[in-house]
Amino acid sequence: MLLPILAVIGGLIVLVLSSDRFVDGAATTARHFGMPSLLIGMVIVGFGTSSPEMVVSTLSSIQGNPGIALGNAYGSNIANIGLILGITAIINPVTVSSNILKKELPILSLITLLSVALLYDLNFSHFDAALILVLFVLLISWSVYQGLKNGKDRLADEIDEEVPSPLSMKRAVLYLIFGLLFLIISSRILVWGAVEIARYFGVSDLVIGLTIVAMGTSLPELASSILAAQKGEHDIALGNVIGSNLFNTTAVVGIAGAIHPFAIDPMVIKRDMLVMTLLTISLFVIGYRFKKDRQGRVNRFEGVGLLLCYFTYTAYLIQTSLI
């Protein structure tokens, strides 16, 4: 039992570190070949911060563990809003002011509701996966179009600041190659350890995906959101959460389903997607609670509320799975 625990811990540590290096290498390489900084920030950095979820879910699906794949995606969404945004708001209340974020909040709510509708028949088919992936492509295309159209928007400038300082081309390529390599290796180790722990305690791989794996793969978003909030870059702090949830709900789930269609545990709809949807709607309501200066705000009180929701959900999940 010690070895699977060490595999999960070690896998998560390497996963987070390799993800960071992969993003640095990919962004610098793209810049070297002339890609605009705005697109690097929106596409490559956006993909990179969610690369742990994507790689873990892909490998889980390939290995026949769809519960970890689905639990990782939806569990990460719950952790992003309840845990990450909650902690971030407690440390430094998050102001919502960017026009792009005000557009993305309702889109996140609509896509969340659409995903519930698609999975409501408890069967995630190739057609469902294809539909979600098409939606993802349209979403990325829209984001890029909006970014280019509003190139002087404050959020565009803030995203550009996230792109790392230029590395040498040689180091960038090494970061890109070895970052991706260790992403895959650490993900395989993490998935193996998670499956073994699930078997030992007699719980489903879905529960492991919703808790240990989801929390671990959300660490990059936690670190970047806290750092952004401390710097006063509130749109980036909230943008990390919204962008990651959009990516998880479309690309991560879509890729997993395209590789291996699977049946949905009824509890995913009744419990997990319900919590995810309620948290998403609460984020929508909080973000759109405008004042006279037309700025929404996630204050410390609301941050505590989000954090309590996350811990209550997690405690209920663990308690019911061990009964």
Give the separation between CA 140 and CA 138, rounded to whole angstroms: 6
Model confidence pLDDT, tens digit, residues 169-179: 788 788 878 88
- Which residues, other chains included, contact 190 with Cβ-Cβ below 8 Å and sequence gap of 6+? 7, 8, 11, 12, 15, 56, 213, 216
Q: In the chain, what are the domain boundaries?
A: 2-322
Model confidence pLDDT, tens digit, residues 203-219: 887 888 888 888 877 77
Per DSSP bridges, beta strands 123-124 and 262-263 are antiparallel
Residues of the chain with confidence (pLDDT) below 70: 23, 27, 30-31, 34-49, 96-102, 146-166, 231-236, 287-296, 322-323
- The pTM for the full model equals 0.81
Q: What is the pLDDT of residue 244?
A: 81
Residue in this structure with the two tokens 């505590």, named with its chain if needed? 304
Selected from 1.10.3470.10, 1.10.1130.10, 3.40.190.10, 1.20.1420.30, the CATH number assigned to the domain covering 2-322 reads: 1.20.1420.30
